[in-house]
Amino acid sequence: MPIELTEDESSMLAATDRFIEREMKPVIGNYVREHQFPTPVVEAFAKAGFMGVAYDPAFDGGGLGARGAALLAARLAETEPGFAAIFLCNSAPMTVLARFGSDRIKQEWLAPLCRGETLASFGVTEPHGGSDVAQIKTRAREDGNDFVLDGSKVFSTNAGTPPHGVTTVVAVTDPDKGPKGLSTFAVPVGTPGFSIGKPGRKIGWRIAPSCELFFDGCRIPKTAMIGNRGDGLKQILTTLAIGRVLVAATALGLTRKATRLAVGYGSGRKLFGHNILQNQGLSFPLADILTKCYAAELMIQDAAQLVDQERPFKSQTSMVKLFATEMAVEAATLAIQVHGGYGVFEEYDVSGLLGEAKVLTLVEGTSEIQRLVIARDLVEF
């Protein structure tokens, strides 16, 4: 590890390692094979306080910021990337609440999330919107002291799971104001008019279900609004930019796992009279991956520090997300190649890593979106 950890970070990672050994490793493979949400493992993880590691201790968080959360995500992904996905997808709505919510709404939702009493999902992407989040169509219509929501969302990870208690939803409150007419709301599970579709089976994030959300005359009080009316787009873009640090950290953990599996298998495999890792066709690409891991870890910690210090971070988080997720795809592909024919059989852990890595290049903005964000800064370079 090329960075120096604080005492609190070291303690958190030690606790994470104990949790992984006792709670995750014995059972997580069964959930992955069945594409099932690991309810008891997630509940134990949440109740141990890990979900709140980044947030203000005043709301029962751990106070370790984006850097602490990135360290945690990477460590989880070294064992199971899908579990890290559950953590990072819960972190997105928590970040909205933490950065933009009033103290009242933080006490109502952020504190219980930090304590692990419930789980959250993020309702942003819509069926016809994709990466163009400014084109959100879900409507929040004022009616007395309430707003009435109508519309739908897709790809809401953690929605519909047993611990799921709330979703943060971005909707149009002022249609005549364009992108400045979006606002964000906390909508509790069970609110009349709010329903959740069934999850589909994915090539990655197999234990982190992603569902559609439906709002049909869903009535919520005006006090459910998070932050200021009209700030929805700013909140989305800020939250996605911060979330890219955790996606990159998950990619780093996945890359470490892929490399470990490749070296473990390759070191015991002989062909044509010698170990296959003596072949530069395999050892040199692995050396490149190790080099990229080193760079990615430094980039992640730098970007996380920018977030924690409230310095400009948008381009940097896009850079690290782009670099780390494409590195993960490269590492997963190489690890399968090292395994040869065995690499495509589900009995081998390496077989699922390519799908897990590919998902990371799509969430929180595709690789193309990251390049677009970065390219906008060329003038200032």
Q: What is the pTM of this model?
A: 0.96
Question: Percentage of the chain surpassing pLDDT 90?
Answer: 89
**pLDDT at residue 2, rounded to an integer:** 63
| CA-based R_g, the chain, Å | 21
Average pLDDT of the chain is 95
343-357 burial, b for 16+ CB within 10 Å, e for fewer? beeeebbbbbbbbbb
The rounded distance, in Å, linking the Cα atoms of 67 and 140 is 35
Q: CA end-to-end span of the chain, whole Å?
A: 30
13 has a pLDDT exceeding 90: yes
* Listed residue (170, 96, 101, 177) closest to 140, CA to CA: 170
Strands 194-196 and 146-157: unpaired
| Model confidence pLDDT, tens digit, residues 309-321 | 999 999 999 999 9
34 is catalytic: no
pLDDT digits (tens, 9 = 90+) for 240-294: 999 999 999 999 999 999 999 999 888 887 677 678 887 888 899 999 999 999 9
Across residues 65-92, what is the average pLDDT?
Answer: 98
| pLDDT confidence bin for 68, thresholds 50/70/90 | very high
- What pLDDT is attached to residue 130? 72
Unique residue bearing structure tokens 């971005």? 170
CA pair distance 1, 226, nearest whole angstrom: 38
pLDDT above 90 for 134 = no
Residue range 209-231: mean pLDDT, rounded: 98
Grade residue 224 by pLDDT with cuts at 50, 70 and 90. very high
**pLDDT band at residue 379 using 50, 70 and 90 as cut-offs:** low
The first and second tokens of residue 255, run together, are: 């890359």
Which pLDDT value is given to residue 272?
74
Active site residue: 78, 126, 297, 364, which one? 364
Give the residue-averaged pLDDT of 97-124: 97
Res 274: pLDDT: 76
CB 230 within 8 A of CB 182: yes
> What confidence score (pLDDT) does residue 248 get?
98
Q: Is the pLDDT of residue 114 over 80?
A: yes
Structural domains in the chain plus CATH codes: 7-119 (1.10.540.10), 121-230 (2.40.110.10), 233-380 (1.20.140.10)
What percent of the chain shows pLDDT beyond 70? 98
pLDDT digits (tens, 9 = 90+) for 331-375: 999 999 999 999 999 999 999 999 999 999 999 999 999 999 999
Give the SS3 label for residue 242: helix
pLDDT beyond 60 at 1? no
pLDDT tens for each residue of 208-217: 999 999 999 9
pLDDT at 381 over 60: no
pLDDT digits 0-9 by tens, 139-196: 999 999 999 999 999 999 999 999 999 999 999 999 999 989 999 999 999 999 999 9
How far is residue 239's CA from residue 242's CA, in Å, rounded to a whole number? 5
